[in-house]
Amino acid sequence: MTDAKTRIDETVKANDVVLYMKGTKEMPQCGFSSRVAGVLNYIGVDYTDVNVLADEDIRQGIKDYSDWPTIPQLYIKGEFVGGCDIITEMTLSGELDGMFEQNGISFNKDAADKIREANA
């Protein structure tokens, strides 16, 4: 598991935004992963996706790494942000926008506002 932890740590630290998910950002393989990838794709965030279905060590390793039992998991600037429910709440409250802005992550604010309008 140490190898998986090392690979996860390197990936999370080398990329501004990382989504550990089931499937890929182009083809999510579960509804929760699809929801988070859909938000990031829609608001134009440049992120690295890691398909946990392609590597069992990473699939278990990411849960151990974050001490979080579910996938997807979003990391911004090396920090674990949360899973699907947390990212959904943060998107709707505008908190995710703030986190991207604080960390210098480019995203489409108008698109983020449209998500909130559609869910008001």
What confidence tens digit (pLDDT) does each residue in 28-42 have? 999 999 999 999 999
Which two tokens mark 103?
């960390």
Domain residue spans of the chain: 2-118
Q: Say what the pLDDT of residue 112 is.
A: 97
Put simply, whether the predicted model's pTM sits higher than 0.85 gets the answer yes
What is the CATH architecture of 2-118? 3-Layer(aba) Sandwich (3.40)
* Distance between CA atoms of residues 102 and 118, nearest Å: 25
- The pLDDT tens digits for 56-105 are 999 999 999 999 999 999 999 999 999 999 999 999 999 999 999 999 99
Q: Say what the pLDDT of residue 2 is.
A: 67
